[in-house]
């Protein structure tokens, strides 16, 4: 009888796969396995649906896609015949019971186990019940080199079906959990609390491997970690950074921390201990990673931004330079008669601080051309929002022309406060391919700008020092579409607006509850009304990075046609 090992080296491959790039993801997995082998790893744990990229959404409904994933996995399984590390790798698998969100455990050139996700999430950004079938049975452990490994998949850990406890009762010694858990503010703490709860219920140490990288609106932040059987932190990998990290696990004969007093349990003896960024740094790095991956994964050479001299376009320009480099950003100032000299100076100062190309394209001629063309149709009417929107749409047209001519993606710059209440112009300032601050409220934008002026995030390509001029941060925000205009001519002060919106959007609070926080009832009713009637605009907005618990689009699906109002 073979003696069970007393040590196991487990590598966690916290990598950035691309959805649908099956060949590229396979090559990435091979390189990660080779790196793990050089460090003496026994096993490499990849993240959820790694071969496919996560989330693959309706690609799973294409038989050719699933077959290609299975073929790539077969090749990776065959690689393990070299005597190097075994693997735990995620992919969609078609079996008699349907297509499953699955993992294959392989060693010695053979698949030694398959496990299927039992608890399919169907909330927020997840809709896996649409494309996958749940595993038909509760999973049992897989024997790997004398160690019984439990492999619950993502929601099997988060949900309440008892998967982890069942694995413990059926003999698992360590739980290895592949995940595709997207970022939102404070998510690392949420994950650790979920894992601690499962450690308490199962009595087993848990390794939580999380994907990295931007995929459309989602950003996967990595931050993989392990919690020991005694609930202490076994290791902590970095956030927002690709890495293959080795942890060393030793079998302990001490009863302390073991389930039900059993003397045989595993302890993490060695592993990384990275510091997790907090608040503004984490949000900024999520926006930066989301923008970088959207641009690069979709094949854009560079980006263009309308730089107005305001805070939103300035923070987006800083994010673009940090994500892509100064040579890949083109900033264009498009002044009109209402553009102040202050804004012109601020925009130029911002571009100089960032080192990017800066052009000025006046819009008087196209705006007045539109006005002239509409003279007969608009005869007898007063000037107002329509004429203001012509300015915005002229700017949007110019940016799209630059995009078409030079292959640049337009970065659109509206924040969540504006998008919530419709303070944006369709086919104008909403034009663009991606919005890195779409899920940041206005006051959060200011907080990130202040943070960036004092810090350079890891991996950023931009300069240090003040990259967003102080005057941009200090001055009253304005769209500058009419004389002496400020945002607060049309909207409540942003601290008030943001708090009301967070109550309505993130927390689904009723009017009476919001008023009880000290807000004026008429203002709350007005903001709620603006929120509902702007839904049609948001449906046509560019995608953007998810930062809050509930972003517009994946997380909040309200009807456009909607007469409900809270009459509280």
**Active-site residues: which are they?**
48, 117, 154
- Strands in 206-255 per DSSP E: 206-210, 212-215, 218-221, 225-227, 233-236, 243-252
- Residues 544, 548, 553, 555, CA torsion sign: positive
- Locate 375 and state its tokens: 């003279």
- Locate 502 and state its tokens: 């967070």
The whole-angstrom separation of Cα 538 and Cα 553 is 8
Cβ pair 185, 550 in contact under 8 A: no
Q: What angle do CA 420, 426, 429 make, to 5 degrees?
A: 85
Q: Of 403, 406, 409, 374, which is closest to residue 389 (Cα–Cα)? A: 374
- Locate 443 and state its tokens: 């006051």
Task: Tell me how far apart the terminal alpha carbons of the chain are, to the nearest angstrom.
Answer: 72
Q: Using CB atoms within 10 A of its CB, is residue 174 exposed (0-12), middle (13-18) or buried (19+)?
A: buried
Query: Helices marked H in 455-505 — which ranges?
Result: 470-474, 494-505
Pairing between β-strand 233-236 and β-strand 225-227 as defined by DSSP bridges: antiparallel
Q: DSSP string spanning 275-344?
A: PPP-HHHHHHHHHHHHHHHHHHHTT-S-EEEE--SSHHHHHHHHHHHHHH-GGGEEEEE---TT--HHHH
The whole-angstrom separation of Cα 167 and Cα 514 is 45
Q: Please report, for residues 312, 345, 465, 494, the alpha-carbon distance to residue 448 in angstroms, rounded to integers and kept in the order given.
A: 11, 22, 14, 15
Q: What angle do CA 477, 480, 485 make, to 5 degrees?
A: 70
The whole-angstrom separation of Cα 78 and Cα 76 is 5
Q: Of 149, 146, 451, 413, which is closest to residue 282 (Cα–Cα)? A: 451
Cβ pair 116, 93 in contact under 8 A: yes
The whole-angstrom separation of Cα 48 and Cα 40 is 24
**What is the b/e burial string over 478-509, where b = at least 16 CB atoms within 10 angstroms of the residue's CB?**
bbbbbeeeebeeebbebebbbbbbbbbbeeeb
Please give the radius of gyration of the chain, using alpha carbons only, rounded to the nearest integer. Answer: 26
The whole-angstrom separation of Cα 322 and Cα 5 is 47
| Cis before 289 (ω within 30) | no
Token pair 């998949």: residue: 153
């Amino acid at each position: 009888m073979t003696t069970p090992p007393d040590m196991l080296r487990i590598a966690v491959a916290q990598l950035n796969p691309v959805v649908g790039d099956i060949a590229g993801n396979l090559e990435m997995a091979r390189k990660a396995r080779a790196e793990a082998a050089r460090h003496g790893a026994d096993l490499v744990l990849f993240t959820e649906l790694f071969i496919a990229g996560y989330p693959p959404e309706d690609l799973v409904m294409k038989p050719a896609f699933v077959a290609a994933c299975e073929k790539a996995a077969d090749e990776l399984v065959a690689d393990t015949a070299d005597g190097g590390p075994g693997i735990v790798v995620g992919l969609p698998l078609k079996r008699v019971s349907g297509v499953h969100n699955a993992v294959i455990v392989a060693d010695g050139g053979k698949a030694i186990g398959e496990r299927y996700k039992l608890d399919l999430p169907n909330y927020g950004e997840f809709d896996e019940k649409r494309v996958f079938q749940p595993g038909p049975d509760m999973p049992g452990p897989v024997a790997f080199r004398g160690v019984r490994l439990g492999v619950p998949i993502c929601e099997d850990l988060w949900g309440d079906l008892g998967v982890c406890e069942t694995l413990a009762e059926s003999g698992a010694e360590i739980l290895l959990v592949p995940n595709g858990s997207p970022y939102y503010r404070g998510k690392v703490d949420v994950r650790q609390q979920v894992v601690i709860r499962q450690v308490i219920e199962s009595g087993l140490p848990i390794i939580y491997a999380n994907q990295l990288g931007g995929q459309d609106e989602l950003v996967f932040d990595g931050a993989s970690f392990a919690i020991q059987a005694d609930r202490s932190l076994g290791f902590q990998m970095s956030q927002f950074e690709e890495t293959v990290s080795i942890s060393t696990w030793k079998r302990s004969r001490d009863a302390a921390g073991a389930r039900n007093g059993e003397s045989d349990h595993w302890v993490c003896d060695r592993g990384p201990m990275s510091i997790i960024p907090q608040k503004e740094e984490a949000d900024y790095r999520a926006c930066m990673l989301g923008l970088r991956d959207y641009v690069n994964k979709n094949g854009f050479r560079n980006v263009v931004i309308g730089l107005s001299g305001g805070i939103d376009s300035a923070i987006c320009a800083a994010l673009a330079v940090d994500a892509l480099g100064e040579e890949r950003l083109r900033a264009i100032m498009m002044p009109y008669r209402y553009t102040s000299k202050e804004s012109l100076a601020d925009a130029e100062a911002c571009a100089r601080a960032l080192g990017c190309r800066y052009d000025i394209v006046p819009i008087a001629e196209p705006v007045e051309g539109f006005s002239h063309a509409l003279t007969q149709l608009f005869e007898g009417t007063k000037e107002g929002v329509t004429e203001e929107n012509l300015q915005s749409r002229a700017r949007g047209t110019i940016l799209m022309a630059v995009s078409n001519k030079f292959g640049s993606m337009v970065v659109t710059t509206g924040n969540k406060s504006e998008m919530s209440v419709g303070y944006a112009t369709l086919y104008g300032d909403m034009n663009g391919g991606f919005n890195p601050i779409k899920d940041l409220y206005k006051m959060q934008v200011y907080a990130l700008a202040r943070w960036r002026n004092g810090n350079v995030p890891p991996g950023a390509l931009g300069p240090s020092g003040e990259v967003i001029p102080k005057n941009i941060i200090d001055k009253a925000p304005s769209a500058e579409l009419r004389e002496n205009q400020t945002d607060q001519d049309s909207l409540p002060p942003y601290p008030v607006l943001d708090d009301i919106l967070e109550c309505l959007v993130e927390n689904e609070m009723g009017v009476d509850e919001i008023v009880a926080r000290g807000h004026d009832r008429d203002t709350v009713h007005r903001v709620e009304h603006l929120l509902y009637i702007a839904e049609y605009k948001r449906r046509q907005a560019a995608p953007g990075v998810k930062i809050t618990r509930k972003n517009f689009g994946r997380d909040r699906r309200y009807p456009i046609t909607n007469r409900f109002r809270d009459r509280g």
